[in-house]
A and B are shown apart, each in its own frame.
Chain A
Amino acid sequence: KAGVTQTPRYLIKTRGQQVTLSCSPISGHRSVSWYQQTPGQGLQFLFEYFSETQRNKGNFPGRFSGRQFSNSRSEMNVSTLELGDSALYLCASSLGPDRDYTFGSGTRLTVV
């Protein structure tokens, strides 16, 4: 059974650019959530989607957005990148909002 797949694994972008990260959940999982992890802030919740609807949103600026498709795959987009957006972005999927999670390996974004 395939796990949660995040692409790309590594990414280097320039300040001011935008970036799109992808997350393919485990087959059958309809809930996908996104997290940002930085050394100083730890794990911070970005958003959660269930059946294409955003259920929860963390305290991030509007430059961070996401969506979920009908096949449960999810994308997150960050526009006008800032140096502080450099982080490990993790996605997790589950059968539903109150079920156990499986995490992807993450996308490490470096903004220069």
Chain B
Amino acid sequence: KNEVEQSPQNLTAQEGEFITINCSYSVGISALHWLQQHPGGGIVSLFMLSSGKKKHGRLIATINIQEKHSSLHITASHPRDSAVYICAVRTPSSNYQLIWGAGTKLIIKP
């Protein structure tokens, strides 16, 4: 079993829909990152969380440390949100090395 599991692997939705991507982890963490990767390769860091909730524009990220679970929400989704969303956790036990989820490929249709 991977230490960081994301679901779903693939998600196709219509423009305007509310999107939720989930991330569960099985290790102790110091922080959790949500990142976005567009076709062509560039990766953008969206959020770094260690507790609670963060919001940036239409993106909201939450984390529940007790349940070892995080969610990324996109409100009023738009075709430009189409990308791969990756969850990664930092683990003090491995010298703060990042452990990556496999990513969720999101396609928003107009």
Contacts and interface: CB of A to CB of B under 8 A. Distances in A.
Contacts of A106: 41-43
Contact residues on B (Cβ < 8 Å of other chain), bracket: 20 to 34
B15 to A, nearest CB: 27
Contacts of B48: 99-100
B94 A56 contact: yes
A97 B100 CA distance: 16
Contact of A100 (B45, B94, B95): B45
A99 B33 CA distance: 10
B74 to A, nearest CB: 20
A43 B30 contact: no
Given A98-B31, A98-B90, A103-B35, 17 more contacts: A37-B41, A42-B103, A43-B86, A43-B88, A48-B97, A56-B96, A56-B97, A58-B97, A90-B43, A97-B95, A97-B96, A99-B48, A100-B45, A105-B42, A106-B42, A106-B43, A108-B41
Interface of B: 30-31, 33, 35, 41-45, 48, 86, 88, 90, 94-98, 100, 102-103
29 contacts: A42-B100, A42-B102, A42-B103, A43-B86, A43-B88, A43-B100, A45-B98, A55-B95, A56-B94, A58-B97, A88-B41, A90-B41, A90-B43, A97-B95, A97-B96, A98-B30, A98-B31, A98-B90, A100-B45, A100-B48, A101-B33, A101-B45, A102-B45, A103-B42, A103-B43, A103-B44, A106-B41, A106-B43, A108-B41
